């Protein structure tokens, strides 16, 4: 048994940053709730994407043959596996269950690796998401059904939930564009860049004139706005955290 060498916070940052980059600049911004909002009705998640996708992050324990103490777990795959604990009696689990609806998708997101070396390698090569597993919350038992643990392997598209053995489907790819038909977001990254470029242009400081702010090239516009804010106003614009919908 080998515990994960990195924290859930490290994984959640790397995962979310890469997930956004995959659909940059058109994907709506993510929202990270504070610890108070996370425990309120409508919370329970670690990050929300446009009100449609909710991720709750988990870091696993790695089991190989030498460290495996539960033969019935090893026999599921016949090779090494990862394990996460799930406490369905906790209020957070109820909140996640309540979030699930026809318009929302709620997932546990967990890495299929456990070393800091792999984290660094996958982060630098944009392969964090590719090497992560997603388990839909609606596949899990009801609230107040006790303590469980889920074992899974990167070689299989399903996991096994114990103590009562239940197969849980695993998802390897989530495309937000397929889920954003009913857009709930305030502004996309591109739309924020447009508004910021208009504000910068309106300043009579003579410095913003050197920036073209070409709205026909979305990626270039976002880059120009970022550079202009940093260069002219010494302001970092991090297009990652959006305001919560109230």
Say which range, 49-58, 134-143, 183-192, 206-215, has the weakest mean pLDDT. Answer: 183-192
Instruction: Convert the pLDDT of each residue in 101-110 to its tens digit.
Output: 877 889 999 9
The count of domains in the chain is 2
pLDDT at 172 over 50: yes
Task: Name the band, by pLDDT with cuts 50, 70 and 90, for residue 51.
Answer: low
Q: pTM of the entire structure?
A: 0.69
Amino acid 147: pLDDT: 84
Cα–Cα nearest to 87, from 140, 164, 34: 140
pLDDT at 116 over 70: yes
Same domain membership, residue 166 and residue 227: no
Say which range, 113-117, 154-158, 203-207, has the weakest mean pLDDT. Answer: 203-207
Residue 157, in any domain of the structure? yes
Residue 246, in any domain of the structure? no
Same domain membership, residue 30 and residue 128: yes
Decide: helix, strand or coil at residue 4. coil
User: Mean pLDDT across the stretch 8-31?
Assistant: 82
Q: How far is it, in rounded angstroms, from Cα 244 to Cα 246? A: 6
pLDDT at 48 over 70: yes
Residue 183, in any domain of the structure? no
CB 76 within 8 A of CB 34: no
CB 19 within 8 A of CB 233: no
Domain that holds residue 106: 2-178
- H or E element: which one contains 45? none
Task: Name the band, by pLDDT with cuts 50, 70 and 90, for residue 230.
Answer: confident
Q: How far is it, in rounded angstroms, from Cα 12 to Cα 23? A: 17
Amino acid 224: pLDDT: 84
User: Mean pLDDT across the stretch 14-18?
Assistant: 91
Same domain membership, residue 174 and residue 194: no
Residue 121, in any domain of the structure? yes
């Amino acid at each position: 048994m080998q515990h994960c060498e990195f924290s859930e916070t490290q994984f959640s940052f790397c995962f979310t940053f890469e997930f956004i980059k995959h659909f940059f600049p058109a994907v709506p911004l993510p929202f990270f709730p504070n610890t108070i909002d996370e425990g309120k009705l409508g919370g329970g998640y670690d990050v929300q994407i446009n009100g449609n996708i909710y991720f709750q992050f988990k870091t696993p324990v790695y089991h190989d043959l030498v460290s495996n103490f539960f033969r019935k777990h090893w026999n599921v795959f016949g090779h090494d596996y990862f394990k996460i604990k799930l406490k369905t009696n906790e209020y957070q689990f109820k909140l996640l269950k309540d979030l699930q609806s026809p318009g929302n998708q709620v997932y546990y997101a967990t890495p299929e690796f456990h070393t800091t070396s792999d984290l660094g390698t996958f982060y630098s090569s944009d392969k964090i998401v590719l090497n992560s597993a997603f388990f839909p919350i609606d596949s899990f038992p009801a609230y107040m059904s006790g303590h469980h643990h889920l074992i899974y392997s990167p070689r299989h598209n399903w996991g096994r939930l114990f103590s009562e053995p239940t197969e849980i489907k695993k998802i390897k790819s989530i495309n937000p564009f397929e889920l954003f038909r009913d857009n709930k977001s305030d502004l996309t990254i591109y739309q924020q860049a447009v508004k910021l470029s208009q504000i910068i242009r309106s300043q009579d400081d003579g410095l913003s004139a050197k920036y073209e702010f070409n709205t026909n090239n979305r990626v270039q516009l976002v880059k120009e706005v970022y550079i202009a804010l940093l260069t002219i106003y010494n302001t970092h614009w991090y297009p990652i955290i959006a305001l919560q919908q109230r």
